[in-house]
Amino acid sequence: MIYLDHAATCPMRECSLEQMTEAMQKVYGNASPSYPIAQEAKAKLDQARSVLADTIGADWKEIFFTSGGTEGDNWALTGAVEAGLPERRTGHIITTQVEHHAVLHTCAYLESRGYTVSYLPVDEEGFVSGESLRKELERHPDTVLVSVMLANNEVGTVEPVQELVRIVRNREEELRNADGEGAEPGREFRRKPARRILFHTDAVQAYGKLSIDVKELDVDLLSVSAHKIGGPKGIGFLYIRKGTRIGSLIHGGAQESGRRAGTENVPAVIGFAAAAKEAAADREKENATVRRLQLFFRDRLRKDVEEACGIRMLWNGPEPEETEEQTGTRRLPGNVSVSFPGFDQRTLLINLDLAGICASGGSACTTGALDPSHVLMAMTKDLQRSAGTLRFSLGPENTREEIETTLHVLTETMKRIQLCPRTSSEEL
């Protein structure tokens, strides 16, 4: 098997598997009671929380465990707007057209509850424009939340989140100043307290690959998942900046400082922390490896498929960075998204699968769906391009030989399709 779908999930790191297995055998206490075995679990939980906080420059009290990225996104959006406006279900949310469905479907849910939502467009490389955000903030003075992903899961575009946050903070200042207008001449006017427009970023794909500092980003909420970095599935965290008002998504006990009910999954948290610590320590080395593979894959695609076979190929998203110093500034290392207009995505994937090669057409959460990629449609508005798109996402354990094998299978499949253009995907 050749595994080229690391954006969907990653093989577990040995350190994570070992520490999680040991914890399941020895640290089985519930972290809430006061007896010794419970307090041991509580201590392990807090140690892991501190390790994870360090990976994003946060305080350990700002880390709240979730079941993964989807819950983190749901909690961030729903909890933020409902905490800010608990009585009158009104207020505006700004997000983008290329977010993960965990954000987009939550926004659709909130629209059904009475909130309004703006969906920012992107350019042909998948980048959000700061000017489009500025215009939406001016158009909607009742904006309570902005949510923009840190890196796209389908095409790897790294969004300018720090710049976008700065625009939001400038808008807050404008609103704060506007609150003070209208005072009678000669009378001291007491201004209203500053209105915080919360900023959330989905960092599920970026975490472990990009250097993240929540203080530099100045975000209020950030969601992460463990299995994208070689940790266990079913665990993640939501960073909640100290002082941020956010409602609970899951109600019950008083776990996670009363914000997220449910017995904590201590072994999974321990496995998560182990994977995160190793990913942080090895990030530069692993990024260098997958970036070289990414460039090799791109160049061979253009040579073996586009030039040698005469097949039209389109690269999706920004070009990979050419130097190690630039890695991750515009595109995630390891992400290879390419389109072959006129070819059927499903046919290509079936033939890759038959050869033991794991790849995808886009987001793992939409595999098998007949709808075109919302990300590529937002970027290109080209249905044919979307229908012929493949995503390969590389890991540090991949080799050039695996990529060469993949290219051979892909080109041979395309040659057969060109000879028999009416052959169905089922027959192939």
Catalytic positions: 365
For tokens 């460039």, name the residue.
295
Token representation of residue 139: 């158009």
- ∠ Cα 45 47 51 (to 5°): 115
CB–CB of 220/199 below 8 Å?
yes
- The Cα–Cα gap between 173 and 182 comes to 17
Q: Tell me, what amino acid is at 333?
A: P
DSSP E strands: which ranges in 198-249? 198-202, 221-225, 236-240
Q: How far is CA 107 from CA 88, 95, 137, 378, in A?
A: 17, 8, 17, 17
* Residues 161/219, Cβ–Cβ less than 8 Å: yes
3-state secondary structure (DSSP) of residue 9: coil
CA atoms within 13 A on the CB side of 95: 26
CB neighbours of 187 closer than 8 A, spacing ≥ 6? none
**CA separation for the pair 35, 54 (Å, rounded):** 29
**Sign of the C-alpha dihedral, residues 285, 287, 290, 291?**
negative
